[in-house]
Amino acid sequence: MTIVYEEVSKRFGRATVVDRLNLSVEDGEMMVLLGPSGCGKTTSLRMLAGLETASGGSIYIAGRRVNDVPPRDRDVAMVFQNYALYPHMTVEQNIGYPLLVRRAERATIRGEVGRVARMLEIDPLLERRPRELSGGERQRVALARAVIRKPAAFLMDEPLSNLDARLRLQMRGELKRLQRELGITTVYVTHDQAEAMTLAHRVAVMRGGRLEAVGTPTELYRRPANRFIAGFLGSPPMNFVPGEIRDGRFAFEGGAIALPSGQTVAAGPVVAGFRPEAARLAAPDDGAFRGTVYVTEEMGAESFVFLECAGQLVTVRAEADFQAEIGDVLGVTVPSSALHFFDAASGRAVGR
Amino acid sequence: MRRRAATFGKYALLAVFLLFFLFPLYWLVLTSVKTQAEQFASPPVWWPRSFTTDYYAGLFQSTTGWLAFNSLLVAAGSTLVALAAGTLAAYALSRFRLPWRLNQRLGHWILSTRMFPPIVSIVPLFLIMRGLDLVDTRAALVAAYSVFNLPFVVWMMKGFFDELPRELEEAALVDGDSRFGAFRRIILPLVRPGLAATAIFCMIVAWNEFLFALILTQTEGALTLPVGIANQVTQYEIRWGAMSAAGVVAMTPMFVFALAVQRHLVRGLSFGAVKG
């Protein structure tokens, strides 16, 4: 079902936590709300669930305005960061709870619990209690409890952040498959850009209670609307170099790069951004500018070289077998087409 | 060597404490089975030469049974009332954000009533009960003890509710339950150890209470055990034997009760283990 936020605000006392949020989620779409902590993403999700009341604006689920509808009548299922499993109930009772409170027949509950438990491969755990489960198992139980009925939407509040790194990767894949298979509209909150990039049909980036941008992960990655988004998506993050546009070139302390033809950026101070994977290392005299190796990180499949260039730390991706010593001087080439330009004052993307 | 000395010191200290606390119990039980001659012997008799069950037999001829029944009814009744009202109040204080910082203010106000010495309230309480025509009834005691225990229940239970993560109820609400359904199905089962611990305290307080019972009751239709026992101190004599026997009888149920629910009590007082 579709979800629409229309001019939705949330104020706690004098503090505005969510400021006139406008966002619509298509039927079957996975929308990831991404942003640093305190950006209002969780509050937005809780307003959708009915756990917080909106201070202004309207929220629609499947075309129905739900501002005054209690959580239980909104027909959404939620997965919490700490899973919120009922400690005194067995796994079976936990998963069956949404059906139990809807007065389903006992036999129906049994059957449905069995079905989703098999789907999530937790059927051997049905008699256990939450405290006897590992983190990953708890996560699956929480998911099972959400999928047991066909809700209008899934709401997920950082569901993977309590798992260790390996398990997180695995569950991320399973979560994506599950969502795509069931085709249920999902709003997913996270501060982890990798989760957003991998899971989302579309990502909504929030900052300070405002929506910064909405788009597919690729759109946001390739053409970030502002410096904040550019720096937030991608790992390691985009490099930023302050300088100015002069005579069709980007000039900065370390050197200058000619703008590509067709690039129209007004002359004046800008911040140029380029991604570590777009730049190349070269001999000291061959690059657009030089840098001194600050540190290198070998990742196995690739290496990241951190260079100090005119007081700025710049990251460049290199081959896995790249070797350099701290203090070495290297050149860096950046294809001019890979440059992003941002207004020095507002941070908004300029040009192109 | 030093550690052994420390251990010895610890046990010696515990032994002193135990002696201090258990001696009155020992003396009470002893007096209830001693003959009258040995009760008054000097030097005191530490272990009687002959035991007597006369005093216990005597209890059956007296009104003690009635008084025990009154005590039980009043203790159980007042505990139920205080627990029901107090638990709901505590849940509200713990979960709902009230304006004007009323959560803290109401909480402190409720606590402050506990600092009020009971004796100050006894005269107005008596007048109220007389106005309601409740003097010398068990209902008067149930009402008085419920009110007296209420602040304690609210504070204990609020502590237990505060320990429970809010997400549990929120999950229940989103899963389709009502506020009350979530309270009954999720929250109440989780605070059961807390409820048990609180109930025990209320029971014990009500069971042992003396002052209100002394003032508010007069006849065996409403008199409770503590007052009944004190009444063994008559104008002419102090019936030590009967008094001790009744004392043992009064003590036993609470003793057994506390032992039986000890596990809950410990769990209730060291809460936090329920977090999933």
pLDDT given at position A25: 94
Q: Which whole number is the average pLDDT over A271-295?
A: 88
Hey, what are B265's tokens? 């009590």
CATH homologous superfamily, domain A240-350? Nucleic acid-binding proteins (2.40.50.140)
**pLDDT tens digits along B128-139:** 999 999 999 999
**pLDDT tens digits along A3-46:** 999 999 999 888 899 999 999 999 999 999 999 988 999 999 99
Residue B119 and residue B234 in one domain: yes
Residue B13 and residue B126 in one domain: no
**pLDDT tens digits along A51-66:** 999 999 999 999 999 9
pLDDT given at position A99: 93
Alpha carbon distance A129, A137 (integer Å): 11
A70-73, Cβ contacts within 8 angstroms, sequence gap of 24 or more: A70/B173, A71/B170, A71/B173, A71/B174, A72/A101, A72/B173, A72/B174, A72/B175, A72/B176, A72/B177, A72/B178
Residue B24 and residue B143 in one domain: no
CB atoms within 10 A of CB B107: 18
Write the CATH number for B128: 1.10.3720.10
Residue B239 and residue B197 in one domain: yes
DSSP notation for chain B? -HHHHHHHHHHHHHHHHHHHHHHHHHHHHHHHHS-HHHHT-SSPPSS-SS---HHHHHHHHSSHHHHHHHHHHHHHHHHHHHHHHHHHHHHHHHH---STTHHHHHHHHHHHHHHS-HHHHHHHHHHHHHHTT-TTSHHHHHHHHHHHHHHHHHHHHHHHHHHS-HHHHHHHHHHT--HHHHIIIIIHHHTHHHHHHHHHHHHHHHHH--HHHHHH--STTT--HHHHHHTTB-SS-B-HHHHHHHHHHHHHHHHHHHHHTHHHHHHHHT--TT--
A contact test, residue of B174, B187, B192 with most A CBs within 10 A: B174
Return the residue matching tokens 């069995």.
A114
Q: 3-state DSSP call for residue A123?
A: helix
Q: 3-state DSSP call for residue A43?
A: helix
Residue B33 and residue B83 in one domain: no
A30-34 and A186-190 beta bridge pairing: parallel
Residue B262 and residue B158 in one domain: yes
Alpha carbon distance B67, A327 (integer Å): 92
Comparing A264 with A127, the larger pLDDT belongs to A127
Alpha carbon distance B206, B107 (integer Å): 23
Alpha carbon distance B185, A317 (integer Å): 55
pLDDT given at position B44: 83
A204 pLDDT higher than 90: yes
Confidence band for B272, pLDDT divided at 50, 70 and 90: very low
Domain ranges of chain A: 3-230, 240-350
Q: Minimal Cα distance from A134: which residue of B?
A: B276
Distances from the Cα of B111 to the Cαs of B5, B92, B103, B122, B155, in angstroms? Answer: 44, 16, 12, 19, 7
Share of chain B above pLDDT 70, in %: 95
Q: Which whole number is the average pLDDT over A322-347?
A: 88
Residue B225 and residue B114 in one domain: yes
Residue B101 and residue B189 in one domain: yes
pLDDT given at position A352: 62
**Do residues A75 and A61 touch, judged by C-beta distance below 8 A?**
yes
The answer to whether the Cβ–Cβ distance between B167 and A98 falls below 8 Å is: no
B276 pLDDT higher than 70: no
Q: Does B190 touch chain A (CB under 8 A)?
A: yes
Q: Does B172 touch chain A (CB under 8 A)?
A: yes
pLDDT given at position B144: 92
pLDDT given at position B100: 86
Confidence band for B267, pLDDT divided at 50, 70 and 90: low
Does residue B84 form part of some domain?
A: yes
B273 pLDDT higher than 60: no
Length of chain B: 276
Alpha carbon distance B43, B52 (integer Å): 20
pLDDT given at position A198: 93
The answer to whether the Cβ–Cβ distance between B174 and A130 falls below 8 Å is: no
pLDDT given at position B275: 41
Q: Mean pLDDT: which of A144-148, B77-81, B165-169 is highest?
A: B77-81
Q: Minimal Cα distance from A157: which residue of B?
A: B167
A185 pLDDT higher than 90: yes
Return the residue matching tokens 């996975």.
A30
Q: Which whole number is the average pLDDT over A312-331?
A: 88
The ipTM, to two decimals, is 0.83
Comparing B123 with B40, the larger pLDDT belongs to B123
Q: Which whole number is the average pLDDT over A138-152?
A: 91
What is the greatest pairwise CA distance in chain B?
75
Strands of the sheet with A64-65, listed across from one edge: A15-25, A3-12, A56-61, A64-65
**pLDDT tens digits along B184-206:** 999 999 998 889 888 888 998 99
Lowest mean pLDDT of A126-135, A326-335, B191-200, B230-239, name the range. B230-239
pLDDT given at position B261: 75
pLDDT given at position B228: 86
The 3-state secondary structure of A174-243 reads: HHHHHHHHHCCCEEEEECCHHHHHHHCCEEEEEECCEEEEEECHHHHHHCCCEHHHHHHCCCCCCEEEEE
What is the greatest pairwise CA distance in chain A?
77
A260 pLDDT higher than 60: yes
Which of A84, A97, A131 is the closest to B167 by Cβ? A84
Does residue B274 form part of some domain?
A: no
Alpha carbon distance A25, A4 (integer Å): 6
Residue B223 and residue B88 in one domain: yes
Residue B12 and residue B143 in one domain: no
Does residue B45 form part of some domain?
A: no
Residue B34 and residue B124 in one domain: no
**pLDDT tens digits along A64-122:** 999 999 999 999 999 999 899 999 999 999 999 999 999 888 999 999 999 999 988 89
CATH among 3.30.390.10, 3.10.129.10, 3.40.50.300, 3.30.420.480 for A3-230: 3.40.50.300
Does residue B48 form part of some domain?
A: no
Comparing B154 with B193, the larger pLDDT belongs to B154
Q: Give chain B's domain count.
A: 2
Peptide bond connecting B43 to the previous residue in cis, omega within 30 degrees of 0: yes
* pTM for this prediction: 0.80
A residues 120-159 near B, CB within 8 Å? 130-131, 138, 145, 155
pLDDT given at position B1: 66
Q: Can you count the helices (H) and strands (E) in chain A?
A: 8, 21
How confident is the prediction for chain A on average, in pLDDT? 90
Residue B195 and residue B234 in one domain: yes
Length of chain A: 352
**Of B276, B273, B233, B238, nearest in space to A142 by CA:** B276
A residues 38-77 near B, CB within 8 Å? 49-51, 70-72, 74, 76-77
Q: Minimal Cα distance from A132: which residue of B?
A: B276
Distances from the Cα of A314 to the Cαs of A256, A281, A283, A338, B20, in angstroms? Answer: 15, 12, 16, 15, 75
Q: Mean pLDDT: which of A329-333, B58-62, B79-83 is highest?
A: B79-83
Confidence band for B274, pLDDT divided at 50, 70 and 90: very low
pLDDT given at position B43: 82
Residues 6+ apart with CB under 8 A from A240: A227, A230, A231, A271, A272, A273, A312, A342
pLDDT given at position A252: 84
Distance from CA of A281 to the nearest CA of B (A): 50
Distance from CA of A198 to the nearest CA of B (A): 26
Q: Does B184 touch chain A (CB under 8 A)?
A: no
Does residue B275 form part of some domain?
A: no
Share of chain A above pLDDT 70, in %: 100
Range of the domain at B13: 2-39
